[in-house]
Structure 1
Amino acid sequence: MLLHIPNVLTKEQLIECRKLLEKASWIDGKLTAGSQAVNVKSNLQLAENDPLLKYLREIITSSLKANPLFVSAALPNHIISPFVNRYENSGAYGNHVDNSILYDATIGKSYRTDISCSLFFTDPQEYEGGEMVIEDTFGTHEVKLPAGDLLLYPSTSLHRVEPVTKGVRMVSFMWIQSMIRSAWKRSILFELDNTIQSLRAKYGETQEAVNLSIHYHKLLQEWAEI
């Protein structure tokens, strides 16, 4: 499932984050790349021990947990501590697949990467190039989202960031270990939840909506790994 989630960050949060990021110190992004990605990664990144990253992680994680659409789609068991990167001067990230297991240094534990996310700090008109290109069973998708919006996609997808030929592209990236390991089952639950919410919005708390909600929670209980 490829999903665009708007307004994960508020305008006030964006303004604050952008001011902080403009003054940030950046390191070579290759320092945190895996064995496959290190040869195709050319960008800058906030260091893991940077106090700014710790502050931004708190903002991002709390915003995600408070976003109903994200929670419905991801059904997160754990959000691996986000990172922030910067692309400029033809910086790019070639074709790669994210590692299936990642270590979260903040927690001191390894987690499955079921879902990958990119949260944009810069608007599309602020840079040229830099498209996020994702390949899945339904074809190839090019994405450039407004600042504050998030792209959610399966971690098993082949993806890349095209070279940024002008301006600066700043994005936070993170991975989710979902309560539901199967992407197919997550999709079923997401569609069912959307249907329930749509029925409630149109007709109120009907018996049909209640019945569907019961089935939703039965499936969640049956499939969840926590």
Structure 2
Amino acid sequence: MLIVIDNVLNKDEVRQFRQHLDQTDWQNGLKTAGSLAAGVKQNQQIDENASVAVELGNHILRRLGSHPLFISAALPEKIYPPKFNSYSNGGHYGAHVDGAVMPLPGNHGTLRSDLSATLFLCEPEQYEGGELTIETAFGAQQVKLAAGDLVLYPSSSLHRVEPVTRGTRVCAFFWIQSMVRDEGKRTLLFDLDQSIQALTPRQPKADPDILQLTGVYHNLLRRWAEV
């Protein structure tokens, strides 16, 4: 399931983010690359412990914590604090699958990466190339979103960032451990929740059919959630 979430950040917030990021020291992305990624990764990243990365990452997490579409789609149990990367001058990230289990910063245990997220921090016309290409059951899908928009996709997906041939592509990225690890079950819950939300305004309060559907949703979540 690939889901686009619009306007996680508004344009003013994106502008403020970029002002902070443009004044920050960037380092070679190979410093955080694993043995397999090292051969296909060419970008820059900000030290995840830098104060600007922590501050901006927490702002993103606060926004997502009250975002109904994100919560419905991800059912988050744990979130790896957002990181920031930059691609320019042919920078790219070849085909790879994200690591399955990651140590959380600050010795806060580990995270199983069920979902990956990319939050775009520049407009599509500001750079050429740089599409996030995700392999799905229906073929490769290319994603290049407006600044402030986010794409959510399974971490098990083979994906890559195409070479940036003009301008600079700046994004935040992070991973989510869901309460429901199985993608198929999570998709069913998402579809059911979205249907309930769409139907509820059209029905009288305490409509018995809506109540029954809501009960089904929560009973499925109770059966499948790992908390």
- Shorter-normalised TM range: over 0.9
Distance 1:69 1:49 in 2: 29
Which residue pairs with 1:217 in the alignment?
Answer: 218
Distance 1:116 1:204 in 2: 38
Contact 1:80/1:104 (8 A) holds in 2: yes
**Which structure 1 residue ranges, 5 or more long, are not aligned?**
none
Specify the code of the residue in structure 2 equivalent to 1:209.
I
Contact 2:11/2:147 (8 A) holds in 1: no
Specify the code of the residue in structure 2 equivalent to 1:86.
S
Contact 1:45/1:86 (8 A) holds in 2: yes
Which residue pairs with 1:88 in the alignment?
Answer: 88
Deviations 1:49-78 (A, max 9, x none): 211101111111111111100000000001
Contact 1:88/1:169 (8 A) holds in 2: yes
Deviates more, 1:190-199 or 1:99-108: 99-108
**Which structure 2 residue ranges, 5 or more long, are not aligned?**
none
Which residue pairs with 1:130 in the alignment?
Answer: 130
Specify the code of the residue in structure 1 equivalent to 2:163.
P
Specify the code of the residue in structure 1 equivalent to 2:141.
H
TM-score when normalising by structure 2: 0.97
Contact 2:101/2:111 (8 A) holds in 1: yes
1:100: Cα distance to partner?
A: 0.4
TM-score when normalising by structure 1: 0.97
1:12: Cα distance to partner?
A: 2.7
1:149: Cα distance to partner?
A: 0.4
Alignment of 1:11-50 (within 5 A): 11-50=11-50
Alignment of 1:31-110 (within 5 A): 31-110=31-110
Distance 1:174 1:203 in 2: 38
Which residue pairs with 2:147 in the alignment?
Answer: 147
Contact 1:34/1:99 (8 A) holds in 2: no
Alignment of 1:114-193 (within 5 A): 114-193=114-193
Q: Cα RMSD between the aligned structures?
A: 1.0
Deviations 1:135-162 (A, max 9, x none): 0211110110000000000000000000
Distance 1:28 1:202 in 2: 53
1:204: Cα distance to partner?
A: 4.3
Percent pairwise identity: 46
Distance 2:48 2:22 in 1: 18
Contact 1:134/1:157 (8 A) holds in 2: yes
Deviations 1:67-102 (A, max 9, x none): 100000000001111100000111000000000001
Distance 2:82 2:191 in 1: 27
Deviates more, 1:84-93 or 1:6-15: 6-15
Distance 2:181 2:193 in 1: 17
